[in-house]
Amino acid sequence: MTKAKPASPTTQAAQKAVLEELPFTDRADFEQAQRGFIAAVPDGQVKNTRGAELWDLRAYEFLNEVEAPDTVNPSLWRMAQLNMNNGLYKVCEHVYQLRGIDLANMTIVEGDSGLIIIDPMTTAEVARAGLDLYYAHRPQKPVLCVIYSHSHVDHYGGAMGVASAEDAVAGKIRVIAPDQFVEELSGENVIAGNAMMRRAQFQFGGLLRKGARGQVDAGLGKVTARGRVTLIAPTLVITAPTETHTIDGVEIVFQLAPDSEAPAEMHMFLPQFGVLNMAENTTRLLHNFIPFRGSVVRDPRIWSRHISDAMTMFGEQTEVLIGQHHWPTWGRDEVRAYLEKQRDLYKYIHDQTVRLMNHGLNREEIAEELDLPPGLDQEWSVRGYYGSVSHNAKAVYQRYLSWYDANPANLNQLPRRESGKKMVEYMGGAEALLKRAETDFEAGEYRWVAQVLSHLVFSEPENLAGRALLADTFEQLGYQAESATWRNAYLYGAQELRHGLAKLPPRRMISPDMLTALTAGALFDFMAVRLNGAKAVGLHWRINWHLNDIDERLVMNLQNCTMTYMPGEVADDAAASVRVSREVLVAVNVRRTSVTEALAAGDMEIQGDATLVEQLFEILDDFDMMFDVVAPSREKN
């Protein structure tokens, strides 16, 4: 089908308006983003041992053009250029950061005899490359501590690139995380992991071609790095609201910030250096209250409160503020001014959404009415490159009032295929609908055209004219978007409409390294959500499990097409009792081996009815990540 189109006259006019509205002559951020630069990522690339590219900034060389093309919102173009700064940076004495080598930063604090690493990025390979770049310019001290600031994968997935699980178990290194860190991982990355990975394709645009008509940025950074996602289980969990620990001569004050940007998150203050690390609770943009990939709705009221508390506790001693994305802020007055804007930004959207909600406006009406207030609307550090006022307001509405707007007409709507067919019929058929849509497209009514044509493509997946016009519509909306995530979602939607679902190589549902580091309960929760209820009809049994490497026992109960478990129990009436290591149980779950093979290898022992254990894994679904989103696949119809 057709390739990317140029910007329409409507889009060109929208981009020109942005140039006139915002202070593009302010170049202070470009100076700050380059401050402390030591060395860039060699050739802008990270490769694995087989030579496969896991990170490649050369694909973004088009951003060297000073002026934004008319296919990119000028404000987003500016942010995309700032996020090209990459390599090793000195923040202050003893504190360094690796930036622009992944979506997130890796912070390195030099102790008396070793290194403290805060957030080892997304994958082991890029974390290792970052550490190697540091070692090329600083003394080769050993890593003695790894700290996870919060429970998102770009802040812990590279752990095994800088440390080993064996060293953590042996006490040679400490691994520190905030309260509820492991518990929150199972919800966001395991139970709903497959759906989130699919939706993340739209959020980050990783499968889009890089370019002025494709992916230019992800707001928090360029894109997520490829490679091996890992996890080393924490050896120390911060549970008090504030805790102070001295690690290799470095005093760190930990401030828990739960239910903010992540359910489990914490700030860190290093009084010896005057450095405050706000993790991901303050960034150089408006963050999101619920990401496109999905999550529990974040609470911006609490988020703002945590920022305010950090200002009160550490503000007078802070000389440099860092985060795990973007560049630092230097100077006590500058730090305070920046934090005040971030604090007020999240509280404003929360409070004004709730105000309008209580006036009876629904989420779409609130999103249409709200914008940044005067005083913040000209500040680059609060622009919506990742979140947006619009979808953040909808998230606040959802948090308090759910998805339902109280109008009974919206209580039990038809599914998208059925409603699409009826909508097309009511509009006089596909030909009449398309004719009207083409007229509105020429008039620049892209939001409405997208709504209408979505009904058409779900009604008639084989209607190529409808798919093509919807792709063109998504494209123009993407070109105009200031938010990188909105742009990526629109442009990736257009790509799938034109070219179909991407043919990706087979991959396991979830990283075995991550599953192995989780609790036994999280692993059995993962099994439970994969249980195919229809295949479990009439089945009723109990199985004892003993995970011998961590000496955990539990009883699994299958009844009423539902899998439950009781930790720490042993059932006398169990139909089978299984003795296995957590690592082998993970391997069976991800289909790396089978029950039969594990038994033959001596990696699993079963007393009682072994066929029930085999049957258990036969009735667990494996998830296909490439499910339909913007239109039904024509191949499936």
The pLDDT of 273-289, averaged and rounded, is: 98
Q: Are 54 and 226 in contact (CB under 8 A)?
A: yes
- Give me the pLDDT at residue 173, please: 98
Helix (H, G, I), strand (E, B) or coil at 146: strand
Query: What is the per-residue burial (b if ≥16 Cβ within 10 Å, else e) of 498-510?
Result: beebeeeeeeebb
User: Beta-carbon neighbour count of residue 346 at 10 Å?
Assistant: 29
Containing domain of residue 536, as a range? 512-618
- Give me the pLDDT at residue 635, please: 53
- Give me the pLDDT at residue 193, please: 83
The answer to whether residue 322 is domain-embedded is: no
Helix (H, G, I), strand (E, B) or coil at 118: strand
Helix (H, G, I), strand (E, B) or coil at 558: strand
The pLDDT of 156-167, averaged and rounded, is: 97
Q: Please, which pLDDT band fits residue 34 given cuts at 50, 70 and 90?
A: very high
- Give me the pLDDT at residue 79, please: 98
- Please tell me the least confidently modeled range out of 36-45, 48-57, 500-509, 622-631: 500-509
CATH of the domain at 599: 3.30.1050.10
The pLDDT of 201-216, averaged and rounded, is: 96
636 vs 79: which has the higher pLDDT: 79
Q: Please, which pLDDT band fits residue 568 given cuts at 50, 70 and 90?
A: very high
- Give me the pLDDT at residue 277, please: 98
Q: What's the mean pLDDT when you consider all of the chain?
A: 95
Q: How far apart are CA 69 and CA 91, in angstroms?
A: 33
Q: Are 74 and 68 in contact (CB under 8 A)?
A: yes
Q: How far apart are CA 557 and CA 544, in angstroms?
A: 9
The answer to whether residue 629 is domain-embedded is: no
Radius of gyration of the chain from Cα atoms?
26
The answer to whether residue 632 is domain-embedded is: no
| pTM passes above 0.85 | yes
- Give me the pLDDT at residue 507, please: 66
The answer to whether residue 521 is domain-embedded is: yes
Q: Are 550 and 582 in contact (CB under 8 A)?
A: yes
The pLDDT of 122-134, averaged and rounded, is: 98
The H helix count followed by the E strand count for the chain is 21, 21
The answer to whether residue 526 is domain-embedded is: yes
The answer to whether residue 302 is domain-embedded is: no
Q: How far apart are CA 76 and CA 266, in angstroms?
A: 29
How is residue 174 written in tokens? 């400490």
> Pairing relation of β-strands 236-238 and 174-178?
parallel
pLDDT greater than 80 at residue 202: yes
Q: Please, which pLDDT band fits residue 595 given cuts at 50, 70 and 90?
A: very high
H or E segment and range at residue 310: helix 300-314
- Give me the pLDDT at residue 2, please: 74
H or E segment and range at residue 202: helix 193-204
Ramachandran angles phi, psi of 146, nearest 5°: -120, 130
Domain count, the chain: 1
- Please tell me the least confidently modeled range out of 10-19, 270-279, 549-558, 624-633: 624-633
- Give me the pLDDT at residue 382, please: 98
Q: Distances from the Cα of 16 to the Cαs of 215, 398, 499, in angstroms? A: 21, 34, 31
Q: Please, which pLDDT band fits residue 626 given cuts at 50, 70 and 90?
A: confident
Task: Name, in order, each residue with C-beta under 8 angstroms of 587's C-beta and a sequence gap of 6 or more.
Answer: 512, 593, 598
The pLDDT of 31-58, averaged and rounded, is: 96
Residue 569 identity: E
Q: What is the dihedral of CA 543, 544, 545, 548, to 10 degrees?
A: -150
- Give me the pLDDT at residue 625, please: 83
Q: Distances from the Cα of 386 to the Cαs of 153, 343, 620, in angstroms? A: 17, 17, 36
The answer to whether residue 319 is domain-embedded is: no
- Give me the pLDDT at residue 10, please: 98
Task: Name, in order, each residue with C-beta under 8 angstroms of 275's C-beta and a sequence gap of 6 or more.
Answer: 91, 92, 95, 269, 318, 319, 320, 321, 322
The answer to whether residue 609 is domain-embedded is: yes
